[in-house]
Amino acid sequence: MRYRIYGRTGLRVSTVSMGCNRLGDPGVDPAQWPPIVKRALALGINFFDTSNSYNQGRSEEVLGEVTSGHSEPVYISTKVGVPVMTNDFPNREFSEETIFREVVNSCERLRRRPIDLYMLHSPSVDQLEEMRFEEVASKLKAGGFVRFFGISTLDHASGIWAVNHGADILQIEYNLLDPTAEDELLPVAQRHDVGVMVRVPLARGLLTGKFPAGQPIPPEQQWRRPKGDQLQLRLSRVDQLRFLEREGQTLAQAALRFVLSHPGVHCVIPGARTVPQLEANAAAADGDLTAAELDRIRALHAQWRAEGVW
């Protein structure tokens, strides 16, 4: 495993960390989840991203149970704003009443206080402007609830807003199929030395190459994946990226290495539902894309930009 300093937080985090939105998935034996987190720790992963709304708090509970017994430092980011019991994303809200109630609940489930990294869960710019962002950040820190504060972005504009209003940390979307965070958001974050973690680095699994182009995704594997023309456009682009598969590198590992090749990125947080997925993702930390591979990727991105759709 390799490590990077997470911007101005100074925390030393594993470059390949773990996204935990599958922990506690319904209909799965709960005994499946703790071994994934334990294996992550054994592989040197020391940073986990969750939310109070992932599986009604079960993701936070699993993390709390496993990491509270670990002897080395482990860092956790969690989020607030999406209703916990319904996970009703369109109805997220960021009132101080909700934030200060939920941070206590997250501390309990995670069995830690302060929480290392605390984020608003994908607020729009309008929602950010309606709240007292900097004051909330100060109160959360002064109350000993959190160490660093920021947002998980809804779009690039929300990320830029947060950086310009003192966010310490960001969670952003950036991957081989959508590099547009390179244009403005990542440079702004770099200038402010904001800690940046990248979510959805595998484009919800599409970048593993396991879904054949020209076919729909079977209903039992649909999860949150695109459908119809949007899906087929992406799968055809995934096929154009298959030159990245070589000895010592799967397409998924190349996708993670691409994200980590940007100097403004500190870690990726691929989701894993099984131990073999986690192990394959963690192994991406041990290698880099070649200059020739990066050149071919940039040429494809230029072509896709010209097509005007991501």
Ligand X SMILES: NC(=O)c1ccc[n+]([C@@H]2O[C@H](COP(=O)([O-])OP(=O)(O)OC[C@H]3O[C@@H](n4cnc5c(N)ncnc54)[C@H](OP(=O)(O)O)[C@@H]3O)[C@@H](O)[C@H]2O)c1
**Where on the chain is the footprint of ligand X (CB under 6 A)?**
19-22, 49, 79, 121-122, 152, 171, 199-205, 208, 210, 223, 252, 269-273, 277, 280-281
What number of H helices and E strands is found in the chain? 11, 10
Q: How far is the CB of 85 from ligand X (least distance, A)?
A: 18
* Closer residue to ligand X (CB): 11 or 63: 63
Q: How far is CA 7 from the centre of its chain?
A: 16
* Closer residue to ligand X (CB): 278 or 291: 278
Q: How far is the CB of 306 from ligand X (least distance, A)?
A: 25
Residue 270 CB partners (closer than 8 Å, separation 6+): 16, 18, 19, 201, 202, 252, 256, 281
* Closer residue to ligand X (CB): 122 or 249: 122
SS3 call for 155: coil
* Closer residue to ligand X (CB): 22 or 112: 22
163: number of Cβ within 10 Å: 24
User: Alpha carbon of 291 to those of 202, 254, 256: distances in Å?
Assistant: 21, 13, 15
Burial of 236 (0-12, 13-18, 19+ CB in 10 A): exposed
Q: Which residues pair with 12 in a beta bridge?
A: 5
* Closer residue to ligand X (CB): 20 or 103: 20
Q: How far is the CB of 255 from ligand X (least distance, A)?
A: 8
Q: How far is the CB of 161 from ligand X (least distance, A)?
A: 16
* Closer residue to ligand X (CB): 112 or 199: 199
Q: How far is the CB of 95 from ligand X (least distance, A)?
A: 19
User: Alpha carbon of 297 to those of 44, 181, 224, 234, 244: distances in Å?
Assistant: 29, 15, 26, 15, 9
Q: How far is the CB of 211 from ligand X (least distance, A)?
A: 9
Q: What is the 3-state composition of the chain as percent helix, strand, coil, each rounded to the nearest 5?
A: 45, 15, 40
